Structure 1
Amino acid sequence: MNRTPAQPLSMLPLAETFEPRDLETLIGVLQDRELESMPVYIIGGANSLDYGLPAKKPGVGLQMTGLNRVIDHPVGDMTVTVEAGLALDALNARLAEHGQCVPWDVPAPHSATIGGIVATNWNGARRHGYGTVRDYVIGIQAVDAAGNTFHGGGRVVKNVAGYDFCKLLTGSMGTLAVITQVTLKVRPTAPESTLVGTILTDDVTLEQTLESLVHLATKPVAVEVLRGPYWRNAEWLRSLWPDHHDDTLLLVGLEGTKLEVQYMSEHLREHWRAQGLARFASVSGADACHAWRGLTNMTSDDSGSLIVKATMVPSAVVGFTRVVSELGLDCSVQADAADGVVWIHFPTFPADGITRSVMGKLVPLADAAGGGVIIVRNRDQIEMTRQSVWGPIDIPVSLMEKVKAKFDPRGRLNPGRFVC
């Protein structure tokens, strides 16, 4: 096991960091810290350390990247069991040998770990076609703060016995237990991937175009609406529309066999022509891979001082993005329109603060549309309160506190970072 001093620029108040390479060593670290009543901060790829409330209690880091083995991959069962520190790209490289994949879109997939993705419940553009992170987790092993191992689910897709630890730990931000192993469903890799896009100049046309997608004989894996200055600087978009300027862009992701994608692409273009749209573009193959990465990167881009995520019913997306544009803060929007998820990129921190700009204007809109608003990134860590970061909680906090007390009664795992 590696044991190193904490990095001086770490966003976590760490005295030192442990990097266990097997389960027994990890359990030993947790048991020793239990005796010392020492907080433990769990670290995966270190890509989302500013996601959640700022860590304030001094403690130690538990670096999970040493636990990076593929435990089991029964190809015919379409499942794979891996240690939580394995990076997503490394897993997909292994699965690609058998024409399989885990189709998650996350920033920095070369370093983002499976355990970290599950703990943060990070979903990207293709959740529309392939489902959420939770949909893929069918088995999980974890260790609580005292070093006790437990597991739920199994390696068979239809297994539903026992407590649903898979649901409980997905999105728990590492505050209940340390995820050590995950069993995932896998999918056949789509042989063809294409993004087809068009430019829209007004919200009425955008609304009509989005609504009409529901009735087409196409099955998009993603429906993305892009607007704002961030996208003017995206090189891969400039190659498609050199003169798009401040227009709204609509991108539809299509995946499947070559014939399926060709049919859906042609059908979509014909439909758009009938609507009076004309400025089309598309990318396929390696260029499509580059575009998918581009669509994923905004949600964690270093150029963003503040990144906010809003959820709502899909029918409210266009109106919500219009209000965001009217804030006058040079913010940019990426909307996973078919799923009602809107990412907002602020290049600088709002002069009137989060409370007025985000909480005062955007939260009521999202709430009225059946959703909410959370802060994904706040580079300057200003105005970081539970209310501003996680928004109004739609379940009793007392219930969450009871669950936390069952798993981590002394509050040592990632203390203060989540709701409780």
Structure 2
Amino acid sequence: MEKTSAAGLDALASELEKVTETAVCERDEVFGNTGRLVAYPQNEREVSGALSLAAHTGITVIPEGGGTKRGYGGTLEAADVLLSMKKIRGIVEHEAGDLILTVKAGTPLADIQHALAKKGQFLPLDAPDSEKGTIGGILAANMSGPKRLRYGSGRDLVVGMRVVHAGGQVMRAGAKVVKNVAGYDMNKLYVGSMGTLGIVTEVTLKCRPLPERESVVLLESEAGVDPLAVFSRHLLDTPMEPVAVEIVNPALSDRMGGRRAFSLALSFEDVPKSVERQEQWVRRNAQLLTVSDTLRNEEAAAWWKRFLQTDRQCVTLKVGSLLTDVPVVLHHAERLSEQLGITLLSHGSVGVGLSKLHVQAEKEAVCTFIRGMRQFMSGREGYVTVEHAPLSVRRQVGVWGENSPNSRLFAGIKRAFDPEGILNPGRFVVG
């Protein structure tokens, strides 16, 4: 994209100030995905006005919540306008009896959880960066954590949305009720689309009662990852109901306070008697493993919070695979990282088929690692996505890997929703 001249920037600012507050945007040369100007709409009407102006003038817009996903997707340093959703925040409505919450898109996930906790409820979404990450940004990137095993991802929690399309039109998808059968479920299309189809301004979600007891059972293996994988599959084939079943590599196990060995983190949430019964089952059946610790309630919650903390200096990869391939992915990543001499913190869910690899090294070693993982996954019905990386790394190896067989379908949807290509250009697979 050509840089906007100083005169052009002044003219753009003058037009944009007619519909919303603006300022000159600070550059982010490391991660990109910013703008030459930043707009701070205070409500949906101002978002609509800004996008209507963009459609008429051809300016490009990158929507942003808490700014935690600048390293995810796209190879642009800056669009014309960074549209910040920070001021569109707060709870709109909470039907506690129906376990339904309606909230503005710029609300941080941590604020939502704090407000719900006062009513004895929570939003079962354990995305990283919850202190700064907004609910709109988390859903746009479809971020979730280990507890997705039990509770599902954001797509499973959303029942309604208000979205501003590229021309400024406002659309409501779904409804403020759980049992909604009104045509196509458009919510699922917006979740994970990286803001390339529209800007979410409000979302209605399903909540859950806070569990009376939460526990984390930590197990270790002297014989590598395989015994942990075997036990995990055995557990998932029983009536037990773990919230998370996460295999953790030696470096991350060490950082979390355990020994430098492959470990297994099991999470249970329910009434005390149910949680205790499941803990006892684990102790009886984990005969080839060592139960290193059992954490409960506040200690368990604090453990997961530390587990989900991410270092912006690391490059994060998301690897999707067959359930049975998760231990294979973690083992191969371990070997490859040792060969390249790089630091690797990794974990994977045997019950979901997703692994996260956090890599820290010089740029060339990181790029070699990414290419090696993609080559390994190419014959295994899986994929490797760069979930967080500097702009220079994303430009060198690409975010999404080889073109998806669904690229033409994605491109058609993008053209239908945003024919001028003003929203988050190049941010998604074909966005």
Name the TM-score, length of structure 1 as normaliser: 0.91
Q: What residue in structure 1 maps to residue 417 of structure 2?
A: 407
* Aligned with residue 370 of structure 2, among 355, 358, 371: 358
**Where do residues 311-326 of structure 1 align in structure 2 (5 Å cutoff)?**
311-326=320-335
Q: What residue in structure 2 maps to residue 419 of structure 1?
A: 429
Q: What residue in structure 2 maps to residue 256 of structure 1?
A: 270
- Contact 2:227–2:289 under 8 Å retained in 1: no
* Aligned with residue 281 of structure 1, among 293, 303, 320: 293
> 2:335 corresponds to which letter in structure 1?
E
Q: 1:365 to 1:57 in 2, by over 3 A?
A: same
> 1:249 corresponds to which letter in structure 2?
S
**CA RMSD between the two structures:** 1.9
Report Cα offsets for 1:91-137 as digits up to 9, x if no partner: 12222222111111122212211111110000111000111110001
Runs (5+) with no aligned partner, structure 2:
1-19
Secondary structure of residue in 2 paired with 1:332: strand
**Where do residues 152-231 of structure 1 align in structure 2 (5 Å cutoff)?**
152-202=173-223, 203-231=225-253
**Where do residues 79-118 of structure 1 align in structure 2 (5 Å cutoff)?**
79-118=100-139
* Aligned mates of 1:89, 1:176 — CA distance in 2: 26
- Contact 2:227–2:288 under 8 Å retained in 1: no
Q: What residue in structure 1 maps to residue 44 of structure 2?
A: 23
> 1:263 corresponds to which letter in structure 2?
R
How many pairs are equivalent? 404
Q: 1:214 to 1:9 in 2, by over 3 A?
A: closer
Q: Which moves more between the two structures, 28-37 or 401-410?
A: 28-37
- Contact 1:20–1:64 under 8 Å retained in 2: yes
- Contact 2:220–2:263 under 8 Å retained in 1: yes
1:68 to partner: Cα distance: 0.8
Q: 1:376 to 1:263 in 2, by over 3 A?
A: same
* Aligned mates of 2:23, 2:250 — CA distance in 1: 43
* Aligned mates of 1:332, 1:227 — CA distance in 2: 7
> 1:5 corresponds to which letter in structure 2?
V
- Contact 2:323–2:350 under 8 Å retained in 1: yes
> 2:300 corresponds to which letter in structure 1?
A
Report Cα offsets for 1:39-88 as digits up to 9, x if no partner: 11101010111101222453111110211132222222211111111111
**Where do residues 288-367 of structure 1 align in structure 2 (5 Å cutoff)?**
288-297=300-309, 300-304=310-314, 306-327=315-336, 328=338, 329-349=342-362, 351-352=364-365, 354=367, 356-359=368-371, 361-367=372-378
Report Cα offsets for 1:247-268 as digits up to 9, x if no partner: 1011101111111111111221
* Aligned mates of 2:125, 2:163 — CA distance in 1: 22
* Aligned mates of 1:204, 1:13 — CA distance in 2: 43
1:350 to partner: Cα distance: 5.6
1:324 to partner: Cα distance: 0.8
1:353 to partner: Cα distance: 5.5
Q: 1:260 to 1:93 in 2, by over 3 A?
A: same
* Aligned with residue 392 of structure 2, among 375, 381, 398: 381
- Contact 2:321–2:381 under 8 Å retained in 1: yes
1:193 to partner: Cα distance: 0.9
Identity of aligned residues (%): 27
1:384 to partner: Cα distance: 2.3
Secondary structure of residue in 2 paired with 1:390: coil
* Aligned mates of 1:267, 1:144 — CA distance in 2: 51
> 2:280 corresponds to which letter in structure 1?
E
Report Cα offsets for 1:12-50 as digits up to 9, x if no partner: 342221111111112111122222211111010101111
* Aligned mates of 2:415, 2:292 — CA distance in 1: 54
> 1:375 corresponds to which letter in structure 2?
V
Q: What residue in structure 1 maps to residue 27 of structure 2?
A: 8
Q: Which moves more between the two structures, 92-101 or 148-157?
A: 92-101
- Contact 1:55–1:414 under 8 Å retained in 2: no
> 1:409 corresponds to which letter in structure 2?
P
* Aligned mates of 1:26, 1:4 — CA distance in 2: 15
Q: What residue in structure 2 maps to residue 123 of structure 1?
A: 144
Secondary structure of residue in 2 paired with 1:331: strand
Q: What residue in structure 2 maps to residue 369 of structure 1?
A: 380
- Contact 1:312–1:367 under 8 Å retained in 2: no
Q: 1:156 to 1:54 in 2, by over 3 A?
A: same
Q: 1:253 to 1:353 in 2, by over 3 A?
A: closer
* Aligned mates of 2:120, 2:365 — CA distance in 1: 51
- Contact 1:228–1:330 under 8 Å retained in 2: no
> 1:3 corresponds to which letter in structure 2?
T
- Contact 2:360–2:366 under 8 Å retained in 1: no
* Aligned mates of 2:377, 2:140 — CA distance in 1: 24
Q: 1:65 to 1:353 in 2, by over 3 A?
A: closer
* Aligned mates of 1:268, 1:279 — CA distance in 2: 9
Secondary structure of residue in 2 paired with 1:382: helix
* Aligned mates of 1:350, 1:38 — CA distance in 2: 33
Runs (5+) with no aligned partner, structure 1:
none
1:230 to partner: Cα distance: 4.2
